[in-house]
């Protein structure tokens, strides 16, 4: 397990809750570093983190089911505070002797909480307040070692604490915005119960990670795949601060970029960085690898493999190269199933955390691996990056290959580039760029009937995707004004030859992902 970038850590045992990333974010927002870990993490691994406390997340299982996830009962012998949320409360209470049963009245949505004990966990919270419930099981009977702190009309033990062990449990979800005083509860746990300090700051993170990178690299050299996006730009700036001239950035033109992307990146980087930048045109190689390939996972694998080969070739004449730096983020790690959490499903393969060949000749450096997207932007500001660089919308490593559904051809790439350029022009012109988290066009693998110039057409369909999100773990579709959508649609159909229909994607994440592939 890698060294953690802070001496104050709250591990969160992930039992599979849909809100588990929110818990981690709320703890970090409160100024304390948090990290997701597997529910079956060993006591030795936990001790190595020197945690100030633990949080047991919610989850979809029932504790009395045969294969329900459990944690090591010895957690309660660590003599550190533990907060159980929903399923986490149930599994913790059960291990300490309580009875958990299927609730007579299941609670989903808002519920009225009546506080019985305002000390400790619920200090400063109104006696009557609203909380967000999502459970079918609950504590049916508490032994004499438990104290009920709060109740709802159908849940007599909505919040509890143990008399002997430093265990607290809540049946509701304090991490969601539907629980108005949830942040107060979490703050009470962190500051009053765990005795944490509000010290998790990006400025501190910069110094600590720069020192770690400097120690890891020594006198070796590092290559960094620079795309011009916020993630790779922040990595480059951070590594430049840590190791200076030992860094070489390689920009790969894979032939899957947006219109004029290569020229823009070269200009932006050379104007703002004192970095050894090398540009490699590998368009032919990438296109050959993708010829006839339709499966999105296979696309990502092939692109990931080719990137590494290009890096190897580009770095062959640079002496002392031992490390490859990547802009892997925490959501990438979680979605790829490579994180500390054992409950995350492998949703999609990210080319920078999966699909790398086993014969990789470099040691990986991933300084952003524990950060959410908005935290990376804050880090970029601390490092002095321009507003244009910090707030640039994400662009996937595989580029337009995962925004063209089906096989990749030069004709399709040109069509999508033209449509995407029009889309972004209108989003910027209508002052919507900073109000949206990500906006892009997708070329669908279908054709539709249309009428243009009194004649029948049978041409391509372009989908528009625009989302609002803070952390990119969840996202909602952006409510773009109808008149703006109308202008975008009219321009694409009129100006991009081969398109006769434009549709707007109104799905949220979850259940959909942000990218289509």
- Residue 491 has phi, psi (to 5 degrees) of -65, -45
CB 407 within 8 A of CB 260: no
Beta strands, E only, 123-262: 128-141, 146-152, 155-162, 167-170, 221-225, 247-253
Kindly tell me the number of DSSP H helices and DSSP E strands found in the chain. Answer: 14, 18
Nearest residue to 174 via CA among 93, 113, 104: 113
Q: Which of 71, 86, 194, 196 is catalytic?
A: 86
Q: Beta partners for 141?
A: 99
Q: Using an 8 Å Cβ cutoff, are 93 and 87 in contact?
A: no
Q: Provide the 10 A C-beta neighbour count for residue 449.
A: 10
Which member of 6, 155, 175, 426 is catalytic?
A: 175
Q: Is 383 helix (H, G, I), strand (E, B) or coil?
A: coil
Element (H, E) at 71: none
Written as six digits, the tokens of 120 are 């400790």
**173 is annotated as an active-site residue:** yes
Name the strand (E) or helix (H) holding 412: helix 410-429
CA distance 87 to 70: 10
d(CA 277, CA 415): 30
Task: Measure the CA–CA gap between 132 and 111, rounded to whole angstroms.
Answer: 6
Q: Decide if 272 is catalytic.
A: no
Distance CA 264, CA 267 (A): 5
Active site residue: 6, 135, 162, 173, which one?
Answer: 173
Instruction: List phi, psi (to 5°) of 28.
Output: -65, -40
Q: Do the Cβ atoms of 340 and 35 come closer than 8 Å?
A: yes
Name the token pair of 314: 């580009």
The structure tokens listed for 310 are 């290009």
Record the tokens describing residue 134, joined without a space: 């999502």
Q: Which residues contact 375 (CB under 8 A, 6 or more apart)?
A: 28, 202
Q: Estimate to the nearest angstrom the gap between the alpha carbon of 470 and the chain centroid.
A: 10
Residues belonging to the active site:
86, 173, 175
């Amino acid at each position: 397990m890698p060294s953690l970038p802070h001496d104050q850590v709250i591990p969160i045992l992930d039992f599979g809750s849909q809100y588990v990333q929110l818990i981690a974010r709320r703890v970090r927002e409160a100024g304390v570093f948090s990290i997701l870990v597997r529910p079956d993490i060993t006591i030795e691994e936990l001790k190595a983190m020197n945690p100030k406390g633990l949080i047991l997340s919610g989850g979809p299982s029932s504790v009395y089911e045969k294969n329900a996830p459990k944690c090591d009962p010895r957690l309660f012998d660590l003599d550190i505070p533990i907060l159980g949320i929903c399923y986490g409360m149930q599994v913790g209470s059960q291990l300490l002797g309580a009875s958990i049963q299927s609730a007579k009245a299941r609670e989903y949505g808002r519920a009225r909480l009546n506080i019985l004990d305002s000390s400790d966990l619920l200090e400063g919270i109104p006696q009557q307040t609203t909380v967000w419930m999502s459970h079918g099981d609950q504590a049916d009977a508490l032994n004499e070692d438990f104290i009920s702190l709060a109740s709802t009309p159908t849940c007599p033990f909505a919040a509890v604490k143990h008399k002997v062990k430093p265990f607290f449990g809540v049946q509701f979800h304090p991490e969601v915005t539907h629980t108005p005083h949830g942040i107060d509860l979490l703050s009470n746990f962190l500051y009053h119960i765990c005795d944490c300090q509000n010290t998790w700051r990006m400025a501190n993170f910069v110094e600590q990670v720069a020192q770690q990178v400097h120690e890891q690299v020594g006198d070796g050299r590092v290559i960094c795949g620079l795309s011009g996006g916020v993630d790779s730009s922040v990595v480059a700036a951070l590594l430049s601060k840590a190791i200076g001239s030992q860094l070489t950035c390689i920009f790969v033109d894979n032939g899957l970029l947006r219109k004029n992307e290569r020229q823009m990146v070269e200009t932006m980087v050379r104007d703002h960085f004192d970095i050894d930048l090398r540009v490699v045109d590998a368009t032919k190689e990438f296109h050959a690898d993708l010829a006839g390939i339709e499966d999105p996972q296979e696309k990502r694998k092939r692109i990931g493999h080719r990137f590494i080969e290009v890096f190897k070739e580009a770095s062959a004449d640079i002496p002392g190269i031992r490390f490859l730096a990547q802009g892997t983020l925490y959501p990438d790690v979680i979605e790829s199933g490579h994180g500390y959490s054992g409950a995350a499903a492998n949703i999609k393969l990210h080319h920078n955390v999966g699909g790398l060949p086993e014969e990789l000749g470099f040691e990986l450096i991933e300084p952003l691996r524990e950060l959410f997207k908005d935290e990376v932007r804050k880090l970029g500001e601390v490092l002095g990056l321009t507003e244009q660089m910090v707030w640039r919308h994400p662009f996937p490593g595989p580029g337009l290959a995962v925004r063209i559904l089906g096989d990749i051809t030069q004709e399709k790439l040109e069509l999508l580039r033209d449509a995407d350029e029009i889309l972004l022009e209108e989003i910027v012109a209508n002052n919507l760029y900073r109000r949206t988290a990500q906006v892009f066009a997708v070329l669908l693998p279908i054709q539709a009937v249309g009428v243009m110039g009194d004649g029948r057409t049978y041409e391509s369909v372009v989908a528009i995707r625009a989302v609002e999100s803070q952390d990119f773990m969840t996202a909602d579709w952006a409510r773009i004004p109808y008149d703006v959508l109308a202008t975008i649609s009219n321009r694409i159909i009129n100006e991009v030859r081969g398109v006769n229909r434009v549709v707007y994607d109104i799905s949220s994440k979850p259940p959909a992902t942000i990218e289509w592939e």
